[in-house]
């Protein structure tokens, strides 16, 4: 996923009311940017962190700038929770996710469950459909360990239950965690942030929901899906 135009570099002044961020740009000008992230952004909302903003010329937008990347722990971290679906769509089109390759069509935002829309429905006439939910990951509190979520994620827990229902019907059901940072090698659910989500993930994995975790390559010009990584808590396979 390429950014449509070069990003502006700045310094984070404050992130507040979840969806706003005050930033001072390199030229010294101050702007208020849209922060497309409803989570806590633990460790990524500290005043003084270098950051990168995209710019829109859409006259209908109230805020011209969007917070896209934050620089922390020596690397770039993607905080835009809208991007993982775009990143995954690009990877699916290129058959770059081996576990999900070979499907004839990829439909987005298909209704399922209780008042929900799945991120991707993959279809092929000769195989079961695959229902895929995508989750953005940017939390790191221990070296090399990515975690999700960074706050209570009731909606994500609901999605896990709905995926389990699809698996019970004989369909493929997949939750795909996209780690938008380059300094992690493994993943686990953040049980202290949301114990119900962590318990649900372990439960649905036992019930047939596939859990995939992929890291990203991140640069100031774009973000791309890169490599799989293991997750702590994966069900043990029987010998």
Structure confidence at residue 22 as a pLDDT band (50, 70, 90): very high
Distances (CA, A) of 71 to 10, 11, 25, 229: 10, 10, 14, 22
Give strand ranges (E) for the chain. 8-16, 20-25, 30-34, 50-55, 65-72, 75-78, 105-112, 116-124, 127-137, 139-142, 144-148, 172-179, 184-189, 210-219, 222-228
What order do you get walking across the sheet with 144-148 strand by strand? 139-142, 144-148, 184-189
Convert the pLDDT of each residue in 97-109 to its tens digit: 999 999 999 999 9
Identify the structural domains of the chain with CATH numbers, from first to last: 8-78 (2.40.50.580), 83-228 (3.40.1350.60)
pTM, 2 dp = 0.94
Structure confidence at residue 4 as a pLDDT band (50, 70, 90): confident
- 59 vs 177, higher pLDDT: 177
Please provide the size of the chain in residues. Answer: 239
Convert the pLDDT of each residue in 70-82 to its tens digit: 999 989 999 999 9
CB 98 within 8 A of CB 84: no
Overall average pLDDT of the 128-142 stretch: 97
Give the residue carrying structure tokens 């939910």: 133
User: 46: helix, coil or strand?
Assistant: coil
For residue 34, the model assigns a pLDDT of 97
High-pLDDT (> 90) share of the chain, %: 91
Structure confidence at residue 115 as a pLDDT band (50, 70, 90): confident
Overall average pLDDT of the 204-226 stretch: 96
Convert the pLDDT of each residue in 35-46 to its tens digit: 999 999 999 999
Convert the pLDDT of each residue in 162-196 to its tens digit: 999 999 999 999 999 999 999 999 999 999 999 99
- DSSP-assigned letter for residue 190: -
Distance, in Å, from the CA atom of 111 to the CA atom of 118, rounded to the nearest integer, reads 6
Give the residue carrying structure tokens 């114990």: 195
High-pLDDT (> 70) share of the chain, %: 98
Q: Is the pLDDT of residue 239 over 50?
A: no
Q: Is the pLDDT of residue 203 over 90?
A: yes
For residue 16, the model assigns a pLDDT of 95
For residue 236, the model assigns a pLDDT of 62
Q: Which residues of 152-169 are buried (b: 16+ CB within 10 A; e: fewer)?
A: ebeebbbbbbbbbbbbee
């Amino acid at each position: 996923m390429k950014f449509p135009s070069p990003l502006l570099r700045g310094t984070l002044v404050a992130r507040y009311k979840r969806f706003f961020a005050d930033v001072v740009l390199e030229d010294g000008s101050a702007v208020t940017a849209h922060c497309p992230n409803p989570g806590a952004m633990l460790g990524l909302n500290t005043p003084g962190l270098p950051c990168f903003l995209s710019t829109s010329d859409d006259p209908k937008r109230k805020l011209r700038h969007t917070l896209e990347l934050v620089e922390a722990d020596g690397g770039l971290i993607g905080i835009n929770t809208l991007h993982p679906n775009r990143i995954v769509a690009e990877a699916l089109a290129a058959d770059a996710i081996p576990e999900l390759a070979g499907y004839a069509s990829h439909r987005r935002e298909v209704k399922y469950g209780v008042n929900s829309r799945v991120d991707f429905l993959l279809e092929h006439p000769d195989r079961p459909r695959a229902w895929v939910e995508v989750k953005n990951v940017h939390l790191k509190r221990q070296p090399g360990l990515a975690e999700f979520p960074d706050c209570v994620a009731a909606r994500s827990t609901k999605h896990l239950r709905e995926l389990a229902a699809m698996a019970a019907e004989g369909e493929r059901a997949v939750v795909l965690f996209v780690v938008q940072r380059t300094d992690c090698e493994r993943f686990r659910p953040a049980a202290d942030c949301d114990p119900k989500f962590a318990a649900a993930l372990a439960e649905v994995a036992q019930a047939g929901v596939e859990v995939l975790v992929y890291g990203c390559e991140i640069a100031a010009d774009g973000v791309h899906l890169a490599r799989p990584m293991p997750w702590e808590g994966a069900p043990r396979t029987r010998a």
